[in-house]
Amino acid sequence: MPAAISVERQQDGHYRVEVREGGSSSTHQVSVRPDYQQRLAGGRVSAEELVRRSFEFLLEHEPKESILSEFDLAVIQRYFPDYEREILRRLGG
């Protein structure tokens, strides 16, 4: 069964993400700069959806326990060089 990912907007550019999977959960604080959101989503999806899709990507590459508890969305590219290209593809960009 795939993980359940909930994204809750805390304040401008900051989101609380909960990942529930296999009877346990993890919580993450994620920030998204407006220029980075525009670059990746181009207005096609909300910041919440961009964060959720980014977590889907992360969970394909590592267990939820390995995902940083607090990070800026742009940091994913540092760990997974194909992230931006893949997220653009998934969002139809």
pTM of structure:
0.95
Residue range of the domain that includes 65: 4-90
49 three-class SS: helix
Number of C-beta neighbours around residue 19 at 10 A: 21
Residue-averaged pLDDT of the chain: 95
Residue-wise pLDDT tens digits, 24-35: 999 999 999 999
Whose CA is closest to 23, among 47, 3, 53, 7? 3
Number of domains in the chain: 1
19: phi then psi, degrees, rounded to nearest 5: -115, 120
Residue-wise pLDDT tens digits, 34-50: 999 999 999 899 999 99
